[in-house]
Structure 1
Amino acid sequence: MQSEVQAVRISSTPQRLEAMAPLLEAVSHAAGDVPALLALARDVGRTAPRPGDGGTAQLWELLASVTAVDVAAGRVLEPHLDAVAILAQASVEPADGAWGVFAAEGPGLRLDATADGTGKYVLNGSKPWCSLAARLDGAVLTAHLADGARAAFAVDLHAPGVSCETPQWTSRGLREIPSGTVHFDGVSAVPVGGPNWYFQRPGFAWGGMGVAACWFGGAVAVARDFSSALAAAADNGREPDQIALAHLGETDRIITSLAGYLARTAGRIDAGELSGSGAWSEALRVRGAVAAGVERVQTVVAQNLGPGPLAFNEAYGKRMADLSLYIRQHHAMRDDAQLGALTLKGDRSW
């Protein structure tokens, strides 16, 4: 199977992609070492394109390429870049360090923000699904206001009153990146935008599509594994049969179609066409299309390669397990139901 570090193309020239080679080599060497991956994320965040600033396709290529090297590395990089972009959109200067974004809600858990009269807020309560919280320096998170709205805040995760649970992470996927609950007891926080700004800004949809770019990169890596395995078998005298070739052709069709869709969507974001109410509908389409494509690629590759590489090839087995868990950030039919409701209201192009 392929082990060569290779960028993922969405729309850039080969020369631009080649410029990513040193970073991707560094990611390859840092795989499994979370502090090293966080250090790389901090470095990349200083110069990476931000969504909507004219280089959205290049940002997504960066995310996809890092994830193609190591899915967990993409899972580290994406939230840091998202946090940096969110703070920039709100004109808040981020403190140096590694950042995350914590916006999930969970049953029985609630995080409240109360104004302290100085322009800052005090956080009390708990936030679930906080990936790598104990290893991060800061986070952009959402909390409930007294009037029922939700707002975003920047918080120092080293501040007094912050305590991070260490979860019992039993998953074989993304083992380096456990997501636990963080508790806040009188923790000072800086507002990021106003009430409901976090969810209403165009960047909310753009960030969701950035996650899909990571999923896409994982699928490209799986597809490369498949192609390399068939080529190696052919070199050893075992030519692929028609079923294997048909599935490789289907995989190529899926990857090529998704790359084209991401390229067009990135262009629309940079042209200002996805800055209004239709941005979230397009995010649901992109995320749904990419998630379906990823799952199909994983299925046909696993069927063709069988149990051998899952049992004995560490890189392939890890990639499949990591990607299977990562893709579950997509809410499947519930996201399609949300898209259907928007479509019924007329938010469609057909």
Structure 2
Amino acid sequence: MADAKVKEALSLMAEAAKLETTSVFAMRFKPDWEGASALYDRAANLTNAARAYEHNINANTKLARAMLQIRSYFQAAKAFEAAANSARMLKDMKQASDLYKKSVELYRQNGTNDTAVQVLEKAAKYTEEVDPLQAAQMYLDAIDIQLAEGKKRQVSEAFRRAAALFLNANKTREAVKALQDHLAVLQEINQLEVAHKNILAIVVVFLKAEDYVAADKAAQDGLSVQRFAMSDEGKAAFDLLEAYDKGDAKGFEAVTKRQVFSFLDNEICKVARNLRVGGSTMGASSTSSQPAPAGRNELFARSTPAPVATPAAPVAPVASAAPIDSEPTEQDADADNEASSLFSPTTAIPTDVAPAAAVQSAPAAPQQEDSNDLL
């Protein structure tokens, strides 16, 4: 039965091909695109019923070409979409993607943008497993069409899917860009609760990239969104950053286990649960162009040297030391004996070398200068 349908379809396509050319004997002085499109349409239906997908792609592609000749863009778009569906059934996602794109372009050219968005989102869903990045781009294309139409309340799902796909592909920069663009739209339509979740998601993604500086900036920028500071998401974001900054692994893990993270999108939630406090906030995959320390407290601890134990008492003899070539007085001898008793309870330092010993105890000053340079 299927073979008979395919045979009939091939016969119809051959007849349609003749109508595309002129013929003096047939008194056809120009191509009959309308007659050809009718035959191609019948052939497409027959091959689809027979599940002869390769023949169906051929029939629908030729139908689309015939429809374009008579400027029936909507019907041409439908034919390309049908051909794409057949390519998808053959697991040829590259060909399917190309055909879907042609379909979308014609739907837009026809002014049926809603249908174009539906085709893009459907194509993206089918493409997610075989080509996540292309699927993410399809979602972004659908978003662009809807935003151009002013339909800002209908783009949230596409934004979430695009961000998740970029995240799975370890495209952190692209994931953050999708989240930030979504945040801007959410602020415009005053969806504050969803915006709070988006800010927390951005912080999580930056910490995944070990970019503490960018994560902290995202949280600080989030304060401009109404009620973020007092929201559960805001508190979680700043507690997360504080624990990360201090290197508090247990505290950090406790924050990530809060219920607020379970309300985020699945992919973001998984990333949050797997976050760990790293030794550095700047890795190879960092999204910030500026090197970032592991944390402000850790930086301060590294740059401040340990205090050097130096005797405080010998400083006094420097100011009151008598010239070496002068005759020591009785008061000078008493002062020298008192200073020497600070260095050793048993051995007295001669009075004529006490000032020199005091002068040699001064190398602590250059270390202080190095500390100031680090700070």
Same fold (TM over 0.5): no
Q: TM-score, normalised by structure 1?
A: 0.24
Larger radius of gyration: 2
Structure 1 or 2: larger helix share? 2
